[in-house]
Structure 1
Amino acid sequence: MPDTPARPIVAGIVPGQPSAVVRYAARLAATFGVPLECAYVDVSSYAISTNIDGSILAVPIDPDGVTDAAEETAAAIEQYLQRELADTGIAWRVHLLAGNASRELEHLADEVDAELIVVGTRERGMLAGLAEFLSGSIAAQLSHRQCRPVVVVPLQPVADGEKLPWDEP
């Protein structure tokens, strides 16, 4: 039987997210001996072109809301991943994307021929609830709109009898 090339794992990450998602994705990558492709999708922007190096040129959805936060976010993500993945021994890359999160994760997974996609559950709170209301569950969209397995890492599990995040005001 011929050797088949190792297919990487894609992990969707968000600034400030608990490390459980990236750490679990790294553990899977180490177990399977494959690289980890970490992706952050800026949902407040959309891509207008892709540069030759694979980076994207994006513009904000709301031009009045433009800040210098994109460069700060990119630097923070790089530092976060270096800190979280330093002791894993796996090969990894970061992808800074823009647009619809589930669509961009799907496109990246297609581009790198990923074995699976790892994402986290949404966190509690009004802002997280509003974001999910406006754009829907990324995990649910990925589960229905593409062919790869989706691993969903619980970020804030609730005990039996407690309100679920979507039941909170």
Structure 2
Amino acid sequence: MDSGATAAIPRRAVIVGAVPGQPPRLLKEAARYAKLFGAPLVVLNVDVMRFVTYEDPDGYVHSTPAELAAASGESELSLVAADAAEILAGSGVDWSVHQLVGDPAFAIKHAAEESDARLIVVGTRKRGLGESIREFFTGSVAARLAHRQHRPILIVPLGEPASDDEELWPES
């Protein structure tokens, strides 16, 4: 396991977008596909509180905090790394954790292009009004990836699915 934002992402990896506290199923499914492909697994966390200001010719990315809470990205990365270590222990897959900054869909797309990723794995959003509002303004990461790049995407349902007659966006 390698953890770091500046380490190069392995070529031809399976990339999984990860946030703290998500259900273990996402990382388990991503590891399963990495194992099937005989590829390394890259657990990718995107710090949305920072944005790219410029990139050096050697690939080093300079970023600026969008808010004063710059340390939140570091703590989020450590939580994702701890989750990955627990969930992927004994999986038999070579894996690493990396953090990028900015818009999640664009960051994942860029990482996939740069590393010639075999597969991108993302989870569905959490259910609830707050997540529905966030998705309304920012859009679905999975949908934005599907329309902006050519790699296969695996979308893993997280949480309990809504029944056929259940309101997807409840008013309360």
**TM-score normalised according to structure 2 size:** 0.84
Residue in structure 2 matching 1:168, options 148, 167, 170 = 170
Per-residue CA deviations over 1:17-44 (Å, capped at 9, x if unaligned) read 1111111000111122111111111122
1:55–1:162 distance in 2 versus 1, CA, 3 Å: farther
Seq. identity, %: 39
Residues of 1 paired with 2:57 and 2:24: CA distance? Answer: 31
Per-residue CA deviations over 1:78-114 (Å, capped at 9, x if unaligned) read 1111111111111111110111111100000011111
1:1-169 mapped onto 2 (5 Å cutoff) = 7-50=12-55, 56-62=61-67, 65-156=68-159, 157-164=161-168, 167-169=169-171
CA contact (8 A) 1:121 1:152 kept: yes
Residue 71 of structure 1 and its aligned partner are, at CA, apart by 2.1
Name stretches of at least 5 consecutive residues in structure 2 with no aligned partner: 1-10
Residues of 2 paired with 1:36 and 1:53: CA distance? Answer: 24
Residues of 2 paired with 1:130 and 1:60: CA distance? Answer: 23
1:153–1:51 distance in 2 versus 1, CA, 3 Å: same
**TM-score normalised according to structure 1 size:** 0.85
Residues of 2 paired with 1:87 and 1:58: CA distance? Answer: 35
Residues of 1 paired with 2:91 and 2:105: CA distance? Answer: 27
